[in-house]
Amino acid sequence: MNQYPIMKIKNLSVEYAKGKPAVKNINAEIMNHTVTAIIGPSGCGKSTLLRAMNRIHELYDNINVTGEILLDEENIFRKSPIIVRRKIGMVFQRPNPFPNMSIYENVLSGYTLNGIKLKKSTKNEIVQTNLESVGLWDEVKESLQKKGTFLSGGQQQRLCIARALALRPQVLLMDEPTSALDPIATKKIEELILQLKNRVTIVVVTHNMQQATRLADSSMFMYLGELIEYLPTYELFNNPKNKKTQDYISGNFS
């Protein structure tokens, strides 16, 4: 597979309050069809960086962003946020299927909410293909008209991943996607992530360092809003260049 940087982050800073950046001057390139983990202590800017990648932070007031994020060499801040979020999907920490929608409607919700009309046969194909891709089809094919909230936590999270994949994004962002799940459901999601990187580039925020080593081709270590180190995962965990990274990984961090 031809590897190239699908996403380039250039001098990115995000401020929630004037003069108090949550993310400071980030520069990084994310390779296509890889899993990239973002690790670091609570409050270090991991989720802020992730949310900037599909402009979801703009749903909140008074947030100031400077710098660029390029997707296939095009600056996402010069495009409609709706278009950006179709190309860069998002899965959140807690499973959040739309409670008033059936499983079937949840998978198609990206099209419905964007006013995109589809033939019934196309809808059926999108639902089946994406539920199959997350290993959920055989579990729910007889229950497609039931509410998504009737599923277990792990199934709900896989439904949310299917919903994000249905719009055929180039990049899928995942903000601690297993932290609300039990170990069995977590294992299924991790196996799914490894399969999906053949289809989509994945960036995952995780507080679980073992998870980063299991999943990620490359890992970023963030501290106090800054990107301290960004290396192939094996190298970051076994031969970090920066003492802060070393201290965090070894548990000597204060």
For residue 173, the domain's CATH number is: 3.40.50.300
Widest distance between CA atoms in the chain: 57
- What is the pLDDT, as a whole number, of residue 18? 80
Helices (H) and strands (E) in the chain, counts: 10, 10
In DSSP terms, which residues pair with 30 in a beta bridge? 7
Distance between CA atoms of 248 and 254, rounded to whole angstroms? 8
Helices (H), the chain: 46-52, 81-87, 103-113, 120-133, 137-140, 153-165, 183-196, 209-215, 233-238, 243-250
- What is the pLDDT, as a whole number, of residue 254? 60
pLDDT in tens, 102-131: 999 999 999 998 889 999 999 999 999 999
What is the mean pLDDT of the segment spanning 230-245? 96
Check residue 241 and report its DSSP letter.
Answer: S
- What is the pLDDT, as a whole number, of residue 17? 79
pLDDT in tens, 180-219: 899 999 999 999 999 999 999 999 999 999 999 999 999 9
- What is the pLDDT, as a whole number, of residue 1? 67
User: What's the pTM?
Assistant: 0.95
Distance between CA atoms of 148 and 100, rounded to whole angstroms? 8
Domain count, the chain: 1
What letters, b where the CB count within 10 A reaches 16 and e where it falls short, cover 176-201? bbbebbeeebbebbbebbeebbeebb
**Positive or negative, the Cα torsion across 160, 69, 32, 112?**
positive
Distance between CA atoms of 81 and 114, rounded to whole angstroms? 12
Distance between CA atoms of 119 and 147, rounded to whole angstroms? 22
Quote the mean pLDDT of the chain: 94
Distance between CA atoms of 7 and 29, rounded to whole angstroms? 6
Domain coverage including residue 103: 5-250
- What is the pLDDT, as a whole number, of residue 253? 66
pLDDT at 225 over 70: yes
